[in-house]
Structures are given as C-alpha cells and as structure tokens.
Amino acid sequence: MRIALFGGSFDPPHVGHVKIVKEALKSLDIDKFFIVPTFLNPFKDTYCAPPYLRKKWLEKLFSSDLKVKILSYECDQKRPVTTIETVRYIQKTYNPSKIYLIVGSDSFWQLPKWSEYEKLKEYTEFIIALRENAKPIEGLKNLDINVNISSTYFRLQMDEKYIPPEIATEVKEFYIRKSMDNRNERIVRLLDEKKAENIHVFDMRNKDYFVDSVIIATTMGERHGLSLLDFLKKELKDCGESFLNIDADDNWTVIDMGDILIHLMTEQYREKYNLELFLKEREDEMRRLRGVD
C-alpha cells in the first residue's frame, strides 16, 4: 500500500488544504490519503477549535472521496504527538510500501527541528506544498498550490471566502463565538482583579438584543466604580478594544463597546434596577417566540 500523509492543526480547514489534497491525489501514485488532525501541535501551546470539531469539519469536507481517510490517531492520544510517532503507527498498522509526507513550503525549513528528523527522512518521502510565490525545493517533488492563506490569517480576518462552502457557515460562527467568549473572559478577569463582585455575563446573541453580551458587576462603592472604569479603559484599549460611549456616575457606569455592554453598579442600584431579571425575561420571550422549550 502506498500512502500519503498530511498532518496539521486544521484550525480551521481552509481552501488551501483542500487544494493540497486534490493536487496530491492527482499527481501521486497512492492507494490511500491520510489527513491527520493534531490534538495539539507540538510547537504550540493551545488550539482554538477543539480536536473533535476540527475532525468533524474534515470529515464533512472529504467523506465523499474513498481514497481519503481522516485519521484520528493523534486526536485520540489527547496530547501533542510528533510526526515520527504517527509515521510509526501507520507503519505498524498498515505496513505501507511507501509513505509520502506532505509539508508546506514554510514548514519545510523547520523540519530539522522536528523530532527524529533523520528517521523521518528515512521512513518517508517529503512532498512540498508550495504557497503563493514560494520557490520550488530542488530535489523534491513540489505541489504547486499557489494559495496564500493560513488558518491564522482566517481567524484574524474572518473572511469566509477562504473556507470551503460545505463548512463555511459553522466555521465562521464558531470562531466569532470563540472570539466573543475570549473577550468576555478578559473583561471578567480584569474586573475580578480589581475586586468587582458578583460578575455576571449574559449571552444575548440570537435574542433580538442590540448587543451580543452584557456584563454586570457590583462595585464596592462610588469611587470604586470610577476606578474600575479607568482600569478597563487602559487595559482594554491596549488590547485593541474600542469604547463607543461611556455614561459614568458614582452609582452606575455603562460602557458601550459596540457588541459588549458593561454595567458597573453599586449594590444598592443593582438591587433597585434588577437588570438580571430584565435580561432573563428578554431571553425567555425570545425562546417563547421561537418555540423553544
């Protein structure tokens, strides 16, 4: 059996990945093409989309091609797995006569840093997927992909034209939600650091409200609320956040960040105006209108 192996984070899978698979199937004499999503790239500290979701996206993209198999080996280990370990697993499980290892042209120059690089050279033949304007690697087989896109670039730009249409909607929704959750977590962490109390985050997406998130926190008094405001302005603006409007007084400060609304309230005002009840009623009303139990 002749096998092509294409590993990566696929966080998320994009049109460049699809083109690599198509070009390899067209130009390599292989019986099986293994796509191997990582649990966690050994050179990275974290991932955005969880492994099961990245695997699901890949299966949706390539389920119709009988030559392509999404190999869950690395995800199943629930830890970072080196490429040489995966190669040995494939050798033991499938006893292939040939393994082509597909790597991007930007990753090729980092190969000597990979675990047991000399063994990788012995066990596999490198196939180089050339990104846009990359020069062919002499002495090796090159796939002319000519797509200048990365998963990181998509996560920054959120432009769904880079994502295959079969998964574009759910991929974009996931990363937008993930970005919002990360921003909310940062705000909660900053408020907690400066001793705000009873911090509550309301997810208002799909609830016919004018912002996506509402964060309410209790201050320890009049001066504390204004001190929290100054701290948030400094820390969040350093993170690239924008404050569209601020309505501040001693008892109740409202910060409008466009898609996030922050309420800093003294305990007396929070009890008096009971925003939690209003937001909960808004949620219940939308669930009723949509017929959701």
- pLDDT band for 279, please (50, 70, 90 cuts): confident
CATH code where residue 55 lies? 3.40.50.620
Q: What is the arrangement of strands in the sheet containing 2-8, beginning at the earlier edge strand?
A: 68-70, 32-37, 2-8, 98-104, 125-130, 141-144
Between 29 and 133, name the one with better pLDDT.
29
Q: Answer positive or negative: Cα dihedral of 222, 228, 231, 236.
A: negative
119 pLDDT above the threshold of 60: yes
Distance from C-alpha of 84 to C-alpha of 118, rounded to nearest angstrom: 10
Question: What letter does residue 160 receive in the DSSP assignment?
Answer: G
pLDDT number for residue 68: 97
Task: Tell me, yes or no, whether 233 lies in a domain.
Answer: yes
Q: How crowded is residue 153: how many other Cβ atoms within 10 Å of its Cβ? A: 13
Which of 104, 137, 163 is the last residue in one of the domains?
163
- pLDDT band for 292, please (50, 70, 90 cuts): very low
Share of the chain above pLDDT 70, in %: 96
The answer to whether residues 157 and 189 belong to one domain is no
Task: Tell me, yes or no, whether 201 lies in a domain.
Answer: yes
Task: Tell me, yes or no, whether 170 lies in a domain.
Answer: no
The pLDDT tens digits for 183-237 are 999 999 999 999 999 999 998 887 878 899 999 999 998 889 999 999 999 999 8
- How many domains, in total, are found in the chain? 2
The answer to whether residues 189 and 146 belong to one domain is no
Task: Tell me, yes or no, whether 133 lies in a domain.
Answer: yes
On average, the pLDDT of the chain sits at 90
Q: Which helix (H) or strand (E) holds 269?
A: helix 267-273
The answer to whether residues 12 and 37 belong to one domain is yes
| Least confident window among 8-17, 127-136, 225-234, 247-256 | 127-136
pLDDT number for residue 238: 81
The answer to whether residues 145 and 13 belong to one domain is yes
Which of 163, 188, 218 is the last residue in one of the domains?
163
The pLDDT tens digits for 35-73 are 999 999 888 888 889 999 999 999 999 988 999 999 999
The answer to whether residues 159 and 184 belong to one domain is no
Who contacts 211 (Cβ-Cβ below 8 Å, separation ≥6)? 204, 256, 258, 259, 260, 261
Task: Tell me, yes or no, whether 245 lies in a domain.
Answer: yes
Q: Which domain holds residue 6?
A: 2-163
Between 189 and 146, name the one with better pLDDT.
189
The answer to whether residues 148 and 25 belong to one domain is yes
Task: Tell me, yes or no, whether 18 lies in a domain.
Answer: yes
Task: Tell me, yes or no, whether 207 lies in a domain.
Answer: yes
CATH code where residue 224 lies? 3.30.460.10
